[in-house]
């Protein structure tokens, strides 16, 4: 709401430039990445739940094939990952100044962050890299079938696969990263863990076997 927006503006104005224009608060984080805040409301969404046939419990209609030619329409942004030359400073900014909560972390390498009102395991991930910048933006799709359809469609249009398909260990979400037409990478993702105030964060080694399974790329060394 507007009160929260005003609180964010006042908090950031304590030590950095803040501009308010057209209902938006503009500033930057500790890494110099641009930030903008505004009051928003999520659009209503009525998902069509995916059906699956498992032994003894068939859900899909009989005599009907899966529509492999269907286009994939992302539901919304799942999370954003930022590269951080000083990951500890960026993590501190988002947790101490903006109220994000650490869901899980890699030792001295990155943190999965969520907002106080969200159940999704993370909406932001800060990862240690040589320079500050955008790593990737993840888009929600309904299920793993749509992850595969989306990644395949992008490849068919000439965009190269960057990482995946696979499944992350922290967050449990399926993924496929594609080199983005907009710069950085684009991720199709689904089925992320939900956590609440009873969740106990873990700290893990930043190693290939902890970042993903079924992986064809070493994200740690990327």
Percent of the chain scoring above 90 in pLDDT? 83
Indicate whether 185 and 108 sit together in one domain: yes
Residues 81 and 191 in one domain: yes
In this structure, is residue 26 part of a structural domain?
Answer: yes
Residue 220 has pLDDT above 90, yes or no: no
- Indicate whether 24 and 110 sit together in one domain: no
Which H or E run contains 177?
strand 174-179
Q: What is the pLDDT of residue 84?
A: 98
Does residue 115 share a domain with residue 13?
A: no
CA proximity to 88, closest of 14, 27, 30, 28: 30
Residue-level pLDDT at 182: 84
pLDDT at 48: 84
Query: Same domain for 26 and 133?
Result: no
Instruction: Please give the tally of structural domains in the chain.
Output: 2
Q: Give the CATH number of the domain where residue 176 resides.
A: 3.10.180.10
Question: Can you tell me the distance from the alpha carbon of 29 to that of 34, in angstroms, rounded to the nearest whole number?
Answer: 7
Query: pLDDT per residue over 92-130, tens digit each?
Result: 999 999 999 999 999 999 999 999 999 999 999 999 999
Per-residue model confidence (pLDDT) at position 70 = 84
The length of the chain is 222
Position 198 in a domain: yes
Q: What is the pTM of this model?
A: 0.93
Q: In terms of domains, do 83 and 13 share one?
A: no
For the stretch 39-78, pLDDT in tens is 998 888 888 888 999 999 999 999 999 988 888 999 999 9
Shared-domain flag, residues 117 and 30: no
**pLDDT tens per residue, range 161-190:** 999 999 999 999 999 999 998 888 999 999
pLDDT, greater one: 197 or 182: 197
8 located within any domain: yes
Containing structural domain, residue 209: 76-213
Is residue 122 assigned to a domain? yes
Edge-first strand listing for the sheet containing 124-128: 202-204, 101-106, 110-114, 124-128, 76-84, 133-140, 185-190, 174-179, 161-168, 212-213
Is residue 44 domain-resident? no
In a domain, 83, yes or no: yes
Together in a domain, 182 and 84:
yes
pLDDT of 29 higher than 70: yes
Domain for residue 53, yes or no? no
Q: What is the mean pLDDT of residues 190-201?
A: 98
Q: Are 105 and 203 in contact (CB under 8 A)?
A: yes
In a domain, 64, yes or no: no
Mean pLDDT for 145-151 is: 96
């Amino acid at each position: 709401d507007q009160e929260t927006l005003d609180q964010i503006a006042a908090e950031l104005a304590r030590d950095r430039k803040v501009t308010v224009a057209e209902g938006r608060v503009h500033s930057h984080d500790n890494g110099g990445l641009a930030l903008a805040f505004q009051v928003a409301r999520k659009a209503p969404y009525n998902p069509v739940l995916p059906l699956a046939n498992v032994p003894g419990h068939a859900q899909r209609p009989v005599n009907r094939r899966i529509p492999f030619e269907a286009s994939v329409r992302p539901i919304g942004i799942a999370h954003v990952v930022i590269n951080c030359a000083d990951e500890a400073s960026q993590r501190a900014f988002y947790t101490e100044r903006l109220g994000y909560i650490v869901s899980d972390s890699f030792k001295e390498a990155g943190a999965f962050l969520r907002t106080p009102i969200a159940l999704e395991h993370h909406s932001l991930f800060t990862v240690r890299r040589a320079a500050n910048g955008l790593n990737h933006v993840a888009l929600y799709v309904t299920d793993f079938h749509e992850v595969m359809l989306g990644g395949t469609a992008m490849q068919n249009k000439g965009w190269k696969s960057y990482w995946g398909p696979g499944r992350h260990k922290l967050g449990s979400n399926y993924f496929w990263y594609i080199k983005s037409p907009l710069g950085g990478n684009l991720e199709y993702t689904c089925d992320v863990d939900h956590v609440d105030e009873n969740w106990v964060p873990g700290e893990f080694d930043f190693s290939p076997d902890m970042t993903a399974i079924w992986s064809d790329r070493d994200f740690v060394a990327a």
